Structure 1
C-alpha cells in the first residue's frame, strides 16, 4: 500500500516538478537526502503488473538520480518562480559588474520574465546606473534603471525609474519586503512597494 501511495504522490509531483525553477527535495528513511534544481523529467522503473519500485529524476544538466520508492518518506517542492530582470549593457557587454561612480549612466537593453506572476516586459532600451551610499561599495551592488516612458513593472504603479535593491547585509532578503508590505497594508503614507526579483547583469546572475 505504501508503494502505491508513494507512486501516486510521485506521479502528481512529476507534473509540477517540470515547471521552471523548482527546488525538488526528497526526504528519505535510509538516512539519505536528495535535492534537485530545475528538474527536467521524472520517470519510473517497473511495470503496471509487477509495480514500480524506482523513481528516476533528471536535472537540467542531464544528470539522473535513481531513488527507491520504498525509501521515500516525503517530497517537498519549493518554487522560486520570481520575476527575472535581464540587463545587458550596450557600451560594456564584457563587464561582470558596474564599475566607476554610481552616477555613471550606461545605455542598456532590459527585459523582464514575469514567470507567470506578472506581465513580461519586452526588450527595451533603458539607462542603467548604480545607486546607494555605503551599499554601493559592497560586493553585491544596488542598481537603478530609467525607461523612456512610464511603465507598470511587477504590478506596481507606472513610473519611469525603478531601483533594484541588493539587500546584501540582509541575509533573510526579507526585511524590506515585509516592512514595506506591512506599511502598505496599514495604509501608511509614503510607503514604497517592494517586489522580490532575480537580476542578471550581462548574463551573470546577481541574485
Structure 2
C-alpha cells in the first residue's frame, strides 16, 4: 500500500481518537459539575438585595430553597455559563427571569445547554417563612470554614437585618462572628456570638455590642428558651434577656430558624444583672480550672463572671443560697390525682 495512503489513514484515525477522548473529557466535566450549586435567587433591590442558594439534603436526595417571609419578586441567577436555561413546573427559566413557584411541592428541575442537551436534573422543593424577620450575614472570606475549625476563631463581615415585610432595619459592619456553646457546638446546627465595635439596636432590643444567635438545636419545638424568657419578662424579672426569632442566612446559605438574644454579662451595654456574679449549671468534667460550687447532689454550679474577687465567705454565702433554693424546689412531695 502506498505510504501516502497509510499516512493519511493514520492521520484520520488519530483525529477520531482525539475527538473521542475530548468528548469523553467534556462529558465527564459536565457530569462532575453540580449545577444546583451555581443556581441562586436574588430578592430585593440595591442594598436590600439578598442572594440565596439551594441546600442539598442527602437524606432524600433533594434540593431545598428556603425563602424569607418578605420574598416576592425572585430573580433567577445561573452561574455556570454552559447552562442556557432550566425547566421547573413546566416553565422555562433563563438568567434574570422572575421565578414563580407553588410553595411546598417537590418538582423536578432540569438544566439544559444551548443545544437543548440535559446537563443535570434533580428535585427542588421551595419553602417560605411567614411573619418573621431575617438576618443576612456575609463573612469577609465568604466562608465559614475558619469558624467551624474552632469556636474561638473569628470572622468580620457585613450584616443586613430585614423585617418580615422586607424593610431594611440595619446594614452594618460587624467586628467578629464566632462560635459559642458547649454541647451545642458539637451539633450540626451551631450557635454563634455576634460582636460590634459600638452598641447597636437590634430588633428593638437594648443597644449592645454583643448578641447571641441561639440555634435551639436540641429543642425540636424551638419554644422552650423563648417561653422561659417571655415568662421572665412578664414576671418583671429585670435581668431577663430579650430575644427575637429570625431566619438566619450566612453567605447566601440558609442556616435555619435562630433566636437572637441579648448576651447575659456584667459588662456595660448588656443585660442588667444586679449582682456581682453570674452562675451557670454545668457538667463536672467541664469545671476544670473554673471556680465552682458543688451541691449536695454533686451538681456543679460554675461562677462564670464577677466584678471583684470573691472571698471564701462570699463563696459560702452563694453556696448556701443555691442549696436552699435547690432544697426548696425538690424538698416536698407532689401528689397528682388522675381521674
Give TM-score, length-normalised by structure 1. 0.59
Equivalent pair of 2:174/2:194 in contact (CA under 8 Å): no
Alpha-carbon distance change, 193 to 40 in structure 1, aligned in 2, over 3 angstroms: closer
1:58-73 alignment runs, 5 A limit: 61-63=99-101
* Residue 85, structure 1, aligned to residue 165, structure 2: no
Equivalent pair of 2:130/2:164 in contact (CA under 8 Å): no
- Separation in 1, partners of 2:135, 2:193: 12
1:25-36 alignment runs, 5 A limit: none
The corresponding residue for 2:186 is 137
- Separation in 2, partners of 1:176, 1:116: 25
1:152 deviates by 1.1
The corresponding residue for 1:155 is 204
Equivalent residue for 1:99, pick from 125, 144, 148: 148
The corresponding residue for 2:239 is 190
| Structure number with larger C-alpha Rg | 2
1:115 deviates by 2.4
SS state of the match for residue 120, structure 1?
strand
The corresponding residue for 1:121 is 170
1:117 deviates by 9.3
- Separation in 2, partners of 1:114, 1:128: 21
The corresponding residue for 1:8 is none
Alpha-carbon distance change, 81 to 96 in structure 1, aligned in 2, over 3 angstroms: farther
- Separation in 2, partners of 1:191, 1:117: 29
Equivalent residue for 1:179, pick from 225, 228, 238: 228
What stretches of structure 1 of length at least 5 have no aligned partner? 1-36, 42-59, 66-77
- Separation in 1, partners of 2:204, 2:146: 28
- Separation in 2, partners of 1:116, 1:151: 21
Which of the two has greater strand per residue? 1
Alpha-carbon distance change, 111 to 104 in structure 1, aligned in 2, over 3 angstroms: same
- Separation in 2, partners of 1:187, 1:90: 40
SS state of the match for residue 181, structure 2?
coil
1:40 deviates by 5.7
- Separation in 2, partners of 1:167, 1:79: 18
Runs of 4+ in 1 over 4 A off after TM superposition: 37-41, 116-119
Which of the two has greater helix per residue? 2
Equivalent residue for 2:250, pick from 177, 180, 201: 201
Equivalent pair of 1:82/1:117 in contact (CA under 8 Å): no
Deviations 1:1-51 (A, max 9, x none): xxxxxxxxxxxxxxxxxxxxxxxxxxxxxxxxxxxx87969xxxxxxxxxx
Equivalent pair of 2:156/2:176 in contact (CA under 8 Å): yes
- Separation in 1, partners of 2:102, 2:155: 43
The two structures, once aligned, show a CA RMSD in angstroms of 3.0
Alpha-carbon distance change, 199 to 63 in structure 1, aligned in 2, over 3 angstroms: closer
Equivalent pair of 1:83/1:118 in contact (CA under 8 Å): no
How many residues are aligned here?
141
Pick 1 or 2: higher relative contact order, CA cutoff 8 A, min separation 6.
1
- Separation in 1, partners of 2:237, 2:101: 50
